[in-house]
Amino acid sequence: MSLVLDAFDAPPSLRLVARVLGWPFKWLGLKGDPNMPPATRALTALGPAYIKFGQVLSTRPDVVGDDLALQLRVLQDKLPPFSTRQARSTVETELGVPVDTVFSEFSEPVAAASIAQVHKARLRTTGEEVAVKVLRPNIEKAFRKDIDAFYLAASIIQFVSPSSRRLRPTEVIKHFDGVVQGELDLRLEAAAAGEYAAKTADDAGFVVPQTHFFHSAKRMMTMEWAEGIAFGEVEAIGAAGHDRKALGERVLQLFLRQALNDGYFHADMHQGNLKVSAAGDIIAYDFGIMGRIDEYTRRVYAEILIGFIRKDYRRVAEVHFEAGYVPADRDVDEFAQALRAVGEPIFGMNASQMSMGRVLAYLFEVTERFGMETRTELILLQRTMVVVEGVARTMYPQINIWQVAQPVVEDYIKQNVGPRALLRDLVATARVLGRFGPKLPHMVETALSQQGRVSSPVQPTRRRDHLFSFVAGAVAAAGVAGLVALLS
């Protein structure tokens, strides 16, 4: 714990609280593997949910320091494996046939993380090399224990510190619980991999291995084997002749394009889930955690990013208020000023010149000052943005994230915010209303009769006027849609 607090440069008060709260449990914890560094040993001993937290920290050497980030990178795919015998037993149980019936070769573990490990195998029918992912034994029970502990901790925090309720700790844990449950069913991961491959098929320099659905089940999954250098082996990537600067920029732009254009993105893009092929393509693995954001949220996210890029802090503040991210009773100008204090010091600097730890600390102060609550629907997006930015920085420390993001965000804004997007929205609205066309007369009559029963004599006329305005608006929208269709 002290290592993490030191890395974050935590204040003395927080260090004291951590020691007092931690002392009663000091003698109850597992010792972990003594061959591991202290922070890595502590997180692995605590359990798989804590390992997930360590994986995020491992991508941010600018926050926790190079030494601690390097220690924690072991958590990505180099944890102690379970036996091949157990893995083969799981495969046989899930597929209902002996392993040798399906695979002519089945290797020892080649990678092991918090939830599963991977074996290299060869399909007996085609001779194709594949990766077989197998869940750890009893992983469901281990995660359930961690999640229950998190729920208890969240309840205690909310009771002891009323000011923490704006962070909605219980709702955050509930969201995390749902994410984990999806990650523990590899049938869902196989489906996610298939959808992700379809959506990213045209993304240049990006590869999603093919899923073998027929050889996948709840606790094991088979995918095409894709050879490459792990994204965390930065020196090896450079020695192989790959352009690290281009790779750092590409991974950040790919994430932004997928999040903004598709609304579907890989939400666990740390170095352990990325490789670089001999041809220089980025290969993605492990699709247990995927993120979705709706069209409205994408537009809000893009407007916030472009506002920061253009230093239009007033517009960034307005978007926060319009989206309901900041309570309406706060002052928009004061919020814009606070955002300027965040943005100005980091513009014109590359990643190696910034203290992201200080930026995050100040951002937390801003959210507290303006009463901003945690938005659970944005947790995966925000978490992944932090991770991907850290991955890009590790690959190329001098990267300027604003310059890299600008063309992607501007392209999205051009296509999805403005007159063209408005016309497209009107067409979509008209189509929906058109489907209800045959029902509109009955809906109007029902609404008028219900209002007539419960309203005063004056009210029905006013409500009929409102209803008439709605129908007129629908007709107008349909007219606009027809005009657009004729002009296009």
**Catalytic center residues:** 268
Helix, strand and coil content of the chain, in percent to the nearest 5, comes to 65, 10, 25
* Alpha-carbon 148 to chain mean position: 22
CB 391 within 8 A of CB 251: yes
Q: Which letter does DSSP use for residue 166 in this model?
A: G
Place of tokens 């109850």: 28
Could you give the CA distance from residue 385 to residue 434 in angstroms, rounded to a whole number? 39
The tokens describing 208, both together, are: 């999603």
Could you give the CA distance from residue 114 to residue 131 in angstroms, rounded to a whole number? 17
CB 426 within 8 A of CB 484: yes
Could you give the CA distance from residue 58 to residue 399 in angstroms, rounded to a whole number? 18
Pick from 290, 113, 317: nearest CA to 198 = 290
Could you give the CA distance from residue 363 to residue 479 in angstroms, rounded to a whole number? 46
Could you give the CA distance from residue 91 to residue 87 in angstroms, rounded to a whole number? 6
CB 158 within 8 A of CB 165: yes
End-to-end CA distance of the chain: 62
Alpha carbon of 90 to those of 93, 116, 117, 139, 467: distances in Å? Answer: 5, 12, 12, 13, 61
Could you give the CA distance from residue 405 to residue 391 in angstroms, rounded to a whole number? 15
Pick from 281, 130, 133: nearest CA to 200 = 281
119 Cβ contact list (under 8 Å, min separation 6)? 84, 87, 106, 107, 108, 109, 110, 131, 132, 134
